[in-house]
Structure 1
Amino acid sequence: MPLLLGFPLMIHQSENALEARAIEASRFALNHIETMLDSADLAANAVSQLSGKPCAEAERALRLQATSRPFVRSVNLTENGVIYCTSLNGSVRDAEEANAYAGGRLRLMAGNDVTPDRAVLIYRLPEKSKSVLVGIDGQHLKNILQLVSADFATVSLLIGDSRMGGDGMVSEFAPNRHLVRPIATSSRKYPFTMQAANPDGMRLRYLMEHYLPQLGLLALLGTLAGVGAYKLGLRALSPRVEMGRALSAGEFVPYYQPLVRGDDYEWCGLEVLMRWKHPTDGLIPADLFIPYAERSGLIVPMTEHLMIQTCRELAPHAKRLPPDFHIGINISAAHCMDLRLIDQCRQFLSAFPAGSIVLVLELTERELIEPTDVTDRLFAELRGLGVKIAIDDFGTGQSSLAYLQKFHIDALKIDRSFVAMAGSDVLSRHILDNIIDLANRLNLDVVAEGVESTQQRDYLSERGVQYLQGYFFGRPMPIDPLLQTLKQAPPG
């Protein structure tokens, strides 16, 4: 009887869990793609008055939008169905193909002349016989689709007759009979749809992976059905509950990635990265759990715990660190809601000899920080403590330029996606050079993340980038390997 009664219930629970995962993944992806298109819309509106004007007058403004707006790869002007000016190549003569745009506004292409093997999303802002076309790199779309396409969900972007999946490939859309109960979520702002579903046979796989022990218990030990239900409840814990348990158990640990000077490649600091030392799944990287931590409100106590651990591990070795050693720690919008961060930074600095380290707080941009009386006081007092503020992954977030206007920023960290193209991809090289030029004009330090080759290192050094970080100089590591590495000269 326990087996006969419990098995249908397990099937029902599996279906609900899979459908809930698909809905959550679809909505998450839709919100992020809308954010990308919002950025494209701002760029298009900023130059819309230039449509019809000679390219020589408009080219500079187009390039400014392409380099300053997050996610924007190119900005183009059209007149009478002809693209006549682009931010990349200046004056051109190409067909606009207005009829190819879904709702007259969006077009998903498998590639173009600049990047034939990488998808591009085109946003169109029409106005009578003129229009503005804004290109968004398909890599951003691919990253989002891969992030949300977990083990039990397949998420696709649908625009008109085109489809893009987590592999980044664009194809003609056709209903897939191998998907179970596909869920379509359409944007209310732009003509695109997210489709999330579970492949055929996934229900049985999910059931077997999550409920097989319970099925055995129900079949062999019916009298222990209550224990089986209890185990089932434990398996259904939410990510927030699991992370709360991990925080109490001290499973979140610091890993350190070295920072070197751009002129002589000597060690001058490090970034503290959080890793989850899970008892069964092993070491989990931050990008798999930090977004959940931010949404669940656990990021603040997790970061406080990380700072305490960092003090405990590094402070006893302060005399072995180079002078003015930089220690970077990531913070999010949640840290700026009250003034507790001031006391945490004060305690952190007090653990080291006065003036021996420089604490750098790196602002992430997954959530927007709005200026308030609290944030004004927070950043003022942090500055009084000698704490520096940096914008992390500059050029890819939602609010990089807004932060430069609203807050006193000391440094920009260039995202690894731009550094990876240094010296090869023309567009990314222009963006990279413009970010460095912007930082120099604003008298800000520049940190380049993701340096993995001699070519990238030399390119950045030649342009006066003050600090470099990446696998070329050192991978994230625990405290003991870090201390051993600091004894040796870094690769130059």
Structure 2
Amino acid sequence: MPLTVNGTRKRANRYLITALSGLLPIALGVVILYWQAERTLQQSTAQTAREAVRQFDLMLDNTALAAQALLPLAGQPCDNGAQLALREQVTRRPFVRATTLSWQKHIYCSSLFGGDYQSPVNPDDYVDGTLWLMNGNPVTPDTALLVYRLVDGDKGAFASIDGYHLTNALRLISRYADLILQVGPGWLDADGRVRNTAVPEFAVAHQHLASERYHYSVDAGMPAGEVWRFMEARYPALFSLLVFFGVLAGVLAHWLQKRSSAPTHELQRALGANEFIAYFQPVVRGDTLAWAGCEVLMRWQHPKEGLVRPDLFIPLAEHSGLIVPMTRALLRQTATQLAPHAGRFNPGFHIGVNITALHCQDLDLVDDCREFLAAFVPGQVTLVLELTERELIKPTDITRRLFDALHQLGVMIAIDDFGTGHSSLGYLRNFNVDYLKIDQSFVAMIGADALSRHILDSIIELSGKLDLGVVAEGVETAEQCEYLAAHGVDFLQGYLFGKPLPCDEFIKSLTSH
């Protein structure tokens, strides 16, 4: 129901809400999956770092055992017995690639050479005098070695781990995480090269773990974008489910918006919120132009759209059946507003209220009118029910009983917009009515269209023969007023005498007249 020209904007808002409702569960699901993936990768790299430390500790345990076994030989001649002992440790100990002996900070015997070998030892190369990650030796240059040094006074024993074992461990411990072994300023990754630059920082799930037994540490982590790659590889089914629920949420939101914004539901909401208010348009006597009553007109004070014209919601209210409770609420509101000021009314002050065919299907209208009249001193006001002709009122037993009961209450019946509906003459024949209200289209033709003026004269003449009162609607000019008064029209209504006003303004105007 387009209440105003803002309908297009509201439709755009509905589509926006639908889109957001569909995207929100998808976005929320992606955030949750991303958090879960990130947490999984954190756990994975932490486990990888722990496993790496365990493996390197195991390797260094073997080098430590080899060095401990060889340390008593340090300082003795590098003869066949010493050579055999050095090579035996290489053979017996896993991961041990070479063993050497030193005396007074000079290496003099090695398993890699068949005789004496002289090379100075710089203790500063070793972290805490124990470990040195070196980039090769004279036999295998540019190949990483992890050297373990054990010293007792002038004696020294060395056992080294080949870079092949180190890089294999770095590659195989984890399929996803990258690993780095750091000893002092040097570090080694899976490509086998020893570097002395700053250790790189991993973008995803970085873990740093130091050994509790030896002076080295490992770093584990993943490159940027790994979380999304992990999600793409592990969660394709969940992504499909998220899209499904997102579409479902969007469709549901769109349906709920259409349902909640449907005209009938909006009218029900407005009725519950008391947004339908009474406006009053004066009705004057044709001879004296004194205020004789008013017609109560329903207006909708919408919280966003402002004051809504009745032609935008009254037909829908009639079609949906809500016009009955809306009219009941209007009668109660009118009684509440006018009763405190009824002392200013002339006796028999007419108060006109529109009813439709729906009001005539049972006798509840009688109770509504009785409740309305009970708010006033008897004889103070006359309630006039105006029958609209948008829907045909059938002359059934119920309608006849209804109109009889209304007349017994002192309620009068008027036919609204007489002369424009197909049922006007039928109403005169079937129902006991009291007034005819001439439609404003005939009044507007006074002085302009001869045919319409003749129809107007015929209606006035007919009402006189049937002893019915006549009310002319839509009087806007002095010429129309004079013509109608000259032809004996009982009551006049129109902008010439006053526009529909809210209660406070209507009472002020009534007082001034």
Q: TM-score, normalised by structure 1?
A: 0.56
Q: Aligned-pair distance for 1:291?
A: 1.0
Q: 1:222 to 1:207 in 2, by over 3 A?
A: farther
- Cα distance in 2 for residues equivalent to 1:149 and 1:319: 38
Q: Aligned-pair distance for 1:234?
A: 4.4
The reply to whether residue 257 of structure 1 matches residue 281 of structure 2 is yes
The reply to whether residue 433 of structure 1 matches residue 457 of structure 2 is yes
Q: 1:152 to 1:247 in 2, by over 3 A?
A: closer
Contact 1:423 1:459 in 2 (8 A): no
Unaligned runs of 5+ in 2: 29-245
Picking from 337, 341, 346, the partner of 1:322 is 346
Paired-residue identity, % = 55
The residue that corresponds to 1:223 in the other structure is 27
- Cα distance in 2 for residues equivalent to 1:310 and 1:446: 24
Q: Equivalent residue of 1:389, what SS?
A: strand
The reply to whether residue 235 of structure 1 matches residue 257 of structure 2 is yes
- Cα distance in 2 for residues equivalent to 1:399 and 1:310: 29
Matches within 5 A, 1:34-433: 208=12, 210-215=14-19, 222-223=26-27, 232-236=254-258, 237-433=261-457
Q: 1:429 to 1:444 in 2, by over 3 A?
A: same
Q: Equivalent residue of 2:498, what SS?
A: coil
1:336-359 alpha-carbon deviations (Å, 9 max, x no partner) = 111111111111111100101111
Determine which structure has more spread, i.e. the larger CA radius of gyration.
Answer: 2
Q: 1:452 to 1:234 in 2, by over 3 A?
A: farther
Q: 1:207 to 1:411 in 2, by over 3 A?
A: closer
The residue that corresponds to 2:243 in the other structure is none
1:51-88 alpha-carbon deviations (Å, 9 max, x no partner) = xxxxxxxxxxxxxxxxxxxxxxxxxxxxxxxxxxxxxx
Q: 1:331 to 1:232 in 2, by over 3 A?
A: same
- Cα distance in 1 for residues equivalent to 2:470 and 2:274: 34
Q: Aligned-pair distance for 1:290?
A: 1.1
- May I ask how many residue pairs the two structures share in their alignment? 293
- Cα distance in 1 for residues equivalent to 2:249 and 2:280: 42
- Cα distance in 2 for residues equivalent to 1:207 and 1:488: 46
Contact 1:436 1:446 in 2 (8 A): yes
- Cα distance in 2 for residues equivalent to 1:441 and 1:319: 35
Q: 1:227 to 1:246 in 2, by over 3 A?
A: farther
Q: 1:350 to 1:207 in 2, by over 3 A?
A: closer
- Cα distance in 1 for residues equivalent to 2:289 and 2:447: 20
Q: Aligned-pair distance for 1:316?
A: 1.1
Letter in 2 for 1:402: G
Letter in 1 for 2:284: V
Q: Aligned-pair distance for 1:461?
A: 0.9
- Cα distance in 1 for residues equivalent to 2:433 and 2:324: 21
- Cα distance in 2 for residues equivalent to 1:228 and 1:357: 55
- Cα distance in 2 for residues equivalent to 1:210 and 1:257: 38
Q: Aligned-pair distance for 1:221?
A: 7.8
- Cα distance in 2 for residues equivalent to 1:366 and 1:430: 25
Q: 1:482 to 1:206 in 2, by over 3 A?
A: closer
Letter in 2 for 1:381: A
Q: Aligned-pair distance for 1:218?
A: 5.3
Letter in 2 for 1:415: D
Compare 224-233 and 412-421 and name the one that shifted more. Answer: 224-233
- Cα distance in 2 for residues equivalent to 1:480 and 1:451: 23
Q: TM-score, normalised by structure 2?
A: 0.54
Unaligned runs of 5+ in 1: 1-20, 22-147, 154-201
Q: Aligned-pair distance for 1:151?
A: 7.2
Q: 1:235 to 1:453 in 2, by over 3 A?
A: farther
Q: Equivalent residue of 1:487, what SS?
A: helix
> What root-mean-square deviation, in Å, do the aligned CA atoms of Structure 1 and Structure 2 show?
2.6
- Cα distance in 2 for residues equivalent to 1:376 and 1:207: 46
Q: Equivalent residue of 1:396, what SS?
A: coil
Q: 1:215 to 1:394 in 2, by over 3 A?
A: same
1:375-420 alpha-carbon deviations (Å, 9 max, x no partner) = 1111111111111000000011120000000000100001111111
Contact 1:366 1:398 in 2 (8 A): no
